[in-house]
């Protein structure tokens, strides 16, 4: 049962071949067996999940119509608010925080019949590329437990790869859905900025953050995206763009699709096995009827410094609210208000979050704002124009999701710059606000490799169409770790 896709589970429950309660118990048993090894979940809400599953079974027995995700277990990254469920962003500063409201994505998932199994481990406040910055310990990759699952949505990716849930939600600020998707061998989709509401998502960088699904197949990602997408009066940055039937785009046909490849940008620092896998994937799509052409992204080489100026500046502002006054951790026995602020933040935040707050505060400070932050915004515009020019010739831009397969835990923790460079191929899409997807496309030494496709604004349908067509003629997405 745990090997089934979300769509198969939904269909079995709707047609009476399985009960939501039995499905829920099977995935809970799998999660409880594997989580001591993987550390993918911060919290497993077993009683709540079983109660929801029982209610769905009762609805079906009564002949009520069921939602598109009826009975499908799902996990949420632990930076999404669920009323009455501890939500920590994997940070000590929110160790005891329990929201009194649901995030919009949670409302929409439950209205569609999804069963929330629990909250997944992540880099603290979604800041990281390896899931080693969590206050609750690192997540381990199901393909090799000495390796990172990627970050920051490593817990969600590991949970899907290990078949603890068929689908999960993560958040993507600089690659935090796609890079874990690549490292764990699952689909990871970052929608267009504004496609999915951020209401109830604990903010990291507000102009970049976007919630997206992780799943075993493009069809499952399409199903979840159709449920969570759409305008939201609680989030003024959501777009009023109509939400298409993403599943209808999965035709299996890529004839006439034009795929651009920025080979100059991919020339340096990429593992040869990754390049071979990506080239093979492009050749497969070409054989299926797609056209592969070279494109240029001349400003992509500046994406990492631009990202780490914009994102840290916004983090500095967003995380100022965690001061020990309103909610979250408060230092004991502070003698002055200033001491309480200082000690609460020092005790509550981990080293990477402190690093990014300090970087962001510096680039926003008097005398440095124009030289750093304003300049970064200008280059961000140039990067977006690069993609606009590329899309005059092609439908999507393809490149590796990450320059290497999953690296060992601890390999990069002492060198933040090398850790940041792991995001070299993923940061451009959020800076430009574009949708992007990581699709499993091969293995190197038993570790998954991902092909990244970036599309036009609000053209997630094209990304899902290509990913689905590729899945139909390869078996990478059907591989599972022996854990």
- Both tokens of 365, joined, read 């400070």
The active-site residue out of 171, 176, 247, 316 is 176
Helix 303-318 vs helix 375-390: crossing angle, to nearest 10 = 130
- Best CA proximity match to 106, nearest among 240, 228, 230: 228
Question: What mean pLDDT is predicted for residues 52-61?
Answer: 97
pLDDT digit string, tens, across residues 358-417: 999 999 998 899 999 999 999 999 999 999 999 999 999 999 999 999 999 999 998 988
In the chain, what percentage of residues exceed pLDDT 70? 100
Question: What is the CATH architecture assignment of 6-260+394-478?
Answer: Alpha-Beta Complex (3.90)
- 176 is an active site residue: yes
Question: What mean pLDDT is predicted for residues 66-74?
Answer: 98
In the chain, what percentage of residues exceed pLDDT 90? 96
Answer yes or no: is pLDDT of 110 > 90: yes
State the pLDDT at residue 448: 98
CB 306 within 8 A of CB 379: yes
- Both tokens of 221, joined, read 């990602």
- 77 is an active site residue: yes
How far is it, in rounded angstroms, from Cα 115 to Cα 372?
45
Question: What mean pLDDT is predicted for residues 348-360?
Answer: 97
Q: Is 270 left (phi over 0), alpha (psi -120 to 50) or beta?
A: beta
How far is it, in rounded angstroms, from Cα 71 to Cα 479?
24
Answer yes or no: is pLDDT of 326 > 90: no
Question: What mean pLDDT is predicted for residues 332-344?
Answer: 94
Specify burial of residue 83 (Cβ count, 10 A radius: 0-12, 13-18, 19+).
middle
How far is it, in rounded angstroms, from Cα 298 to Cα 305?
15
Helix 272-287 vs helix 460-473: crossing angle, to nearest 10 = 90
State the pLDDT at residue 483: 87
Residue 184 has, within 13 A of its CA and on its CB side, a CA count of: 38
The active-site residue out of 19, 21, 77, 190 is 77
Q: Is 105 helix (H, G, I), strand (E, B) or coil?
A: helix
How far is it, in rounded angstroms, from Cα 473 to Cα 230?
32
How far is it, in rounded angstroms, from Cα 457 to Cα 187?
19
Strand 258-261 relative to strand 396-400, pairing: parallel
**Where are the domains positioned within the chain?**
6-260+394-478
Predicted model pTM = 0.97
pLDDT digit string, tens, across residues 266-282: 988 999 999 999 999 99
State the pLDDT at residue 267: 87
Confidence of residue 140 (pLDDT cuts 50, 70, 90): very high
Give the DSSP letter of residue 145.
Answer: T
Q: Is the peptide bond before 399 cis (omega within 30 degrees of 0)?
A: no
- 90 is an active site residue: no
- Of 32-46, 49-63, 411-425, 448-462, the poorest mean pLDDT is in 411-425
State the pLDDT at residue 19: 98
Answer yes or no: is pLDDT of 305 > 90: yes
Question: What mean pLDDT is predicted for residues 183-208?
Answer: 98
- Both tokens of 281, joined, read 């994937």
State the pLDDT at residue 187: 98
Beta strand residue intervals within 277-390, DSSP E: 291-294
- Both tokens of 368, joined, read 């440095």
Question: What mean pLDDT is predicted for residues 152-181?
Answer: 98
Q: How many CB atoms lie within 10 A of CB 377?
A: 15
Question: What mean pLDDT is predicted for residues 181-190?
Answer: 98
Runs of H (alpha helix) within 130-175: 154-161
Specify burial of residue 27 (Cβ count, 10 A radius: 0-12, 13-18, 19+).
buried
State the pLDDT at residue 82: 98
Average pLDDT, the chain: 97
Residues 6+ apart with CB under 8 A from 218: 187, 250, 437, 439, 464, 467, 468, 471
Give the DSSP letter of residue 477.
Answer: G
Helix %, strand %, coil % for the chain, to 5? Answer: 40, 15, 45
Residue 254 has, within 13 A of its CA and on its CB side, a CA count of: 29
Answer yes or no: is pLDDT of 327 > 90: no
Question: What mean pLDDT is predicted for residues 309-337?
Answer: 94
The active-site residue out of 81, 90, 134, 152 is 152
């Amino acid at each position: 049962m745990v090997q089934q896709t979300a769509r198969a589970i939904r269909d079995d429950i709707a047609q009476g071949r399985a009960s939501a309660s039995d499905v829920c118990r099977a995935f809970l048993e799998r999660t409880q067996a594997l989580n001591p090894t993987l550390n993918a979940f911060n919290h497993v809400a077993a009683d709540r999940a079983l109660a929801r599953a029982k209610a769905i079974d009762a609805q079906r027995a009564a002949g009520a119509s069921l939602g598109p995700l009826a009975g499908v277990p799902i996990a949420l990254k632990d930076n999404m608010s669920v009323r009455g469920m501890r939500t920590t962003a994997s940070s000590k500063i929110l160790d005891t925080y329990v929201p009194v409201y649901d995030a919009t994505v949670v409302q929409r998932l439950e209205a569609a019949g999804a069963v929330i199994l629990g909250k997944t481990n992540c880099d603290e406040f979604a800041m990281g590329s390896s899931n080693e910055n969590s206050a609750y310990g690192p997540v381990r990759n199901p393909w090799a437990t000495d390796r990172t699952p990627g970050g920051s949505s490593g817990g969600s990716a590991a949970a899907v790869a290990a078949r603890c849930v068929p689908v999960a939600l993560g958040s993507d600020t600089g690659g935090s859905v796609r890079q874990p998707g690549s490292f764990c061998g699952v689909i990871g989709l970052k929608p267009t900025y504004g496609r999915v509401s951020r209401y109830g998502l604990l903010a990291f960088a507000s102009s970049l953050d976007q919630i997206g699904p992780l799943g075993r197949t493009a069809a499952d990602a399409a199903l979840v995206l159709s449920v969570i997408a759409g305008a939201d009066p609680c989030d003024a940055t959501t777009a009023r763009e109509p939400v298409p039937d993403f599943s209808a785009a999965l035709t299996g046909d890529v004839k006439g699709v034009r795929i651009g490849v920025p080979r100059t940008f991919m020339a340096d620092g990429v593992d040869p096995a990754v390049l071979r896998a990506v080239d093979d994937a492009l050749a497969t799509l070409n054989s299926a009827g797609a056209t592969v052409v070279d494109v240029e992204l001349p400003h992509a080489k500046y994406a990492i410094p631009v990202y780490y100026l914009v994102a840290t500046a916004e983090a500095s502002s967003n995380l100022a609210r965690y001061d020990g006054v309103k909610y979250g951790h408060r230092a004991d026995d502070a003698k002055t208000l200033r001491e309480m602020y200082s000690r609460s933040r020092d005790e509550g935040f981990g080293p990477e979050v402190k690093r990014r707050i300090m970087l962001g505060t510096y680039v926003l400070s008097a005398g440095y704002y124009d030289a750093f932050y304003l300049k970064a915004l200008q280059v961000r515009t140039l990067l977006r124009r690069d993609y606009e020019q590329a899309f005059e010739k092609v439908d999507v831009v393809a490149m590796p999701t990450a320059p290497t397969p999953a690296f060992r835990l601890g390999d990069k923790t002492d060198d933040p710059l090398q850790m940041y460079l792991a995001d070299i191929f993923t940061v451009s899409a959020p800076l430009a606000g574009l949708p992007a997807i990581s699709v499993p496309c091969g293995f190197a030494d038993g570790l998954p490799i991902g092909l990244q496709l970036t599309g036009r604004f609000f053209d997630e349908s094209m990304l899902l169409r290509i990913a689905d067509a590729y899945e139909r003629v390869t078996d990478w997405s059907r591989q599972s770790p022996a854990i």
